[in-house]
């Protein structure tokens, strides 16, 4: 048995399970924001290019890679996490999804794929910058 392949399979499966647990991802990113806030001076010192100097926070992503858009679309099953509106037409027509930070950068949230969720335009526009709003219930495969 190839232990390296087994280890990779275990890590991959664990990551998939964790990503499907919205409460875990929310709580994990809240914990990460505490670490970023605590070490922001050190992060500025070693990774200045990733810092918004006006706010002393992590910079906002400048673009969303295709793999991330597709991963969020499939992870959230093409629905807004907050109101469960079907956003599949937004994805196909505009191909510019409303990607939201679960823990906002203003609260020291990480600029990491584990900290993103899919929202409809209305929910994204109404979510406050200081809010970590998410739906802790997994989106069902279909609505009854």
What tens digit of pLDDT does each residue of 22-76 get? 888 888 889 999 999 999 999 999 999 988 888 888 888 888 888 888 888 888 8
Nearest CA to 19 among 82, 108, 99, 113? 113
Whether the predicted pLDDT of 93 surpasses 60 = no
Query: For residue 73, what are the contacts with CB-CB under 8 A and spacing of at least 6?
Result: 91, 97, 118
pTM for the structure as a whole: 0.65
Dist. CA 78–CA 73, nearest whole Å: 5
Whether the predicted pLDDT of 105 surpasses 70 = yes
- The band of 120, judged by pLDDT with boundaries at 50, 70 and 90, is confident
Whether the predicted pLDDT of 94 surpasses 60 = no
Two structure tokens written together for 61: 């992503």
8 Å CB contact between 25 and 114? yes
Q: Where are the beta strands (DSSP E) in the chain?
A: 51-52, 57-58, 98-101, 116-119
Two structure tokens written together for 142: 């279909």
pLDDT (0 to 100) of residue 46: 94
Instruction: Tell me what the pLDDT averaged over the chain comes to.
Output: 82
Return the higher-pLDDT residue of 140 and 93: 140
């Amino acid at each position: 048995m190839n232990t390296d392949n087994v280890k990779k399979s275990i890590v991959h499966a664990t990551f998939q399970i964790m990503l499907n647990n919205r409460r875990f991802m929310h709580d994990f990113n809240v914990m990460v924001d505490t670490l970023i806030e605590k070490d922001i001076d050190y992060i500025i010192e070693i990774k200045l290019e990733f810092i918004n100097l006006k706010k002393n926070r992590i910079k906002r992503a400048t673009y969303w890679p295709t793999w991330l858009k597709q991963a969020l679309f499939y992870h959230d099953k093409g629905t807004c996490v907050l109101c469960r509106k079907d956003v599949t037409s937004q994805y196909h027509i505009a191909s510019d999804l409303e990607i939201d930070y679960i823990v906002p950068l203003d609260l020291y949230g990480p600029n990491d794929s584990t900290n993103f969720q899919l929202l409809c335009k209305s929910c994204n526009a109404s979510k406050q910058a200081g809010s970590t709003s998410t739906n802790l219930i997994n989106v069902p495969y279909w609505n009854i």
